[in-house]
Structure formats: structure tokens, C-alpha cells
Amino acid sequence: MAIFEHPSFDKHESVHSFYDEKTGLKAFVAVHSTHLGPSAGGTRFWHYKNANLALRDVLRLSRGMSYKNAMAGLNLGGGKAVVIKPEGNFDREALFTKFGEFINTIGGAYYTAEDVGMTTDDMRTIRTKTKFVAGLDEGDAASGDPSPVTADGVFRCIRLAANKRGIKLKGASVSVQGLGHVGYTVCKFLHKAGAKLIVTDINKQAVKQAVNAFGAKAVMPDDIYAQPADIFSPCALGAVLNPTTASQLKASIIAGAANNQLSTPNIGKELHDKDILYCPDYVVNAGGIINIAGEIEGNYSPDWVESKLQGVEQSLEQIIDHSIKTGRNTDAIADEMARARIGR
């Protein structure tokens, strides 16, 4: 299948594939739009069953980054990278050194940072070969690991949505899917606010830690959707809201950090018809890229980040209010707003 006929191709400006036999590097970089500025989005390091799944992921994620950056009011376009995790033993430093060389060949149309499976150490390795990298923990404008800021933004959006639905977080039940850097920190915020947590993750140690630290109830991964929670917060991978899972949901609100939560566009309408308030993922999880944007521009400031996080809350409130007024599903409203901002 040619890239232009791919179901997830959305008038992407460029799509790059990189391969290096010596290190085992197999990677895709997709630049969706540079209308608002150079594209930016993290690199995902993940086991993919095949390259077609990796390509689909990078196309969907880069489109989401265009929308996310536009809705957050950033001078950045949307891009994303995925690196297929090699089977067996491999030299991580050599792998990401080569990846940095490849990023540099794109010439500044794409800035990378951390995403699933990546660390600040990896960013430092990539930085040895290219300046088009952020999420560093050293240097004058370094912003460090963006996940705490992402979690902060997710919590703010959960709180806002709860207020809109007349739900007090103190005593409310929240089911959290995924206890990585972001999901676990979201749990910290929710626990501090007095919420009762239901958690799941394929990492049993992370689940045990959440149970001990927050008094959370642990459930198996496939059981998280049917939990009788007020709020469902998906903080793992994408496409978790699909015909099978949507029919199980009992939550009144969905707000989480995962990208591309809706498996297909019609799921948003289905959730709306069930009176479930879906908070569009690329609005909710913009905290990390906001943090990184200041680093890319070389003027990182906690005060500026705070102003942008407040802007995220304002955007979500506008979307919810417009949905209430018009009776339309929130994801469709958000998509229209984002496309208008990026000139599509």
C-alpha cells in the first residue's frame, strides 16, 4: 500500500523511514504539519508486532500532535517518531546515537522528546548527534522529564470535568488505566484530592505500589472498563475506547493521558449518546508538550508553563460548554477547532 492511500494518512507533509543494520534501528518519523512552526512530538520506543502497526501509530500520533499543539496555543506543528524495539539484546546507546543522526537529516522540521519507553538519558544520547531534541535535564533552557507536567494537566482537566458534572473529587471513584510516569503521578494528584482509586497495569509492581501508597483497589487489565467509577482515566496506550470497551463503561466522565483513545471517530458520538462526557485526549494531555515548547524556544519558564496549563483548562471548558449548548459530541467540536487553528 502506498503511503498516500494509507487509512491514517492525513495530508502529512512528510513521512520518513530509517533503518540501520548494525544497531538494529527501525524507525518512522511523521511530520503532519509545520503550519504553526516546526513539528514537535515525542519518540515512542515500543514492541510492535510488525512495521505496519508502527506506521499506523506514527501517522495517528503525529496528527494528534498537530491538534494538541494547536489547541495548546503553541508555535509548533505536529510530528511524531516511533522506534521499533529490537528483539533480544541490543546496544541502547548505539541505537539512539544512530537515531539522532537520522533526526538531524530532517533538518529541523521535527523536534523529538520523550514518549513511551524513552528516558532523559536517551534524549542526551540523541542530543550528541542533533540539536533538534528537547526534554533534556541539563542546559540553560532544560525542562527535564515532561511527564509530571502532563499529569498536572490531566488532573486539572479531570477536576474541571467533575465540576461540570457536579461531582466532588473528594470521595469520588476514579479508575486509572496505566501506571507509568504520567498515570502514577495522576494518581498522586487524585489521592491528594481525596478520590478513591481503582487501578490496573500490566506492570504488577506498579500496581502493588499504587495499592500501598494510595489505598487503591487493583483489578485485572480487561476488568478496568466495567468498574463502577465516576471517572475513567485512560493513561496507557491508544484505541482503548472501542465498541467492546465503550459498551462496558459505567463512568460519567472520561479524561486521561493516553493518545488516540478513540479507536474510530464514531465512538465519540456513541459516548455522547450514552451521556458520558469525553474530554478530548489531545486537549487533556498537552502538559508535556507545553513544557517542551519552552525548551525548544530557549526561554523555558515555569510561569509561562502555568499560563499555558490554564489555557488548556479554558479550551476544555469552551469545548464542554459548546457541546452542552449544541448537543454535539466533544471530540467533533475539538477537531473542528484544531483544524481551524492549523489552517485545514
**Residue 252 contacts residue 277 (beta carbons within 8 Å):** yes
With the CA atoms of 134, 135, 137 and 138 taken in that order, what torsion angle do they form, in degrees rounded to the nearest 10? 10
Choosing from 26, 68, 80, 98, the catalytic residue is 80
Q: How far apart are CA 258 and CA 148, in angstroms?
A: 14
Q: How far apart are CA 205 and CA 216, in angstroms?
A: 13
For residue 333, the one-letter residue type is I
Q: How far apart are CA 123 and CA 105, in angstroms?
A: 17
Catalytic residue list contains 131: no
Take residue 320 and report the three cell numbers written for it.
464542554
Backbone angles phi, psi at 197, to 5 degrees: -105, 140
For residue 243, the one-letter residue type is P
Concatenate the DSSP letters of all residues of 204-237 into one string. HHHHHHHHHHH-PEE--GGGSTTS--SEEEE-SS
Residue with cell 522529564: 145
Strand-strand pairing, 277-278 and 253-254: parallel
Query: Active-site residue numbers?
Result: 80
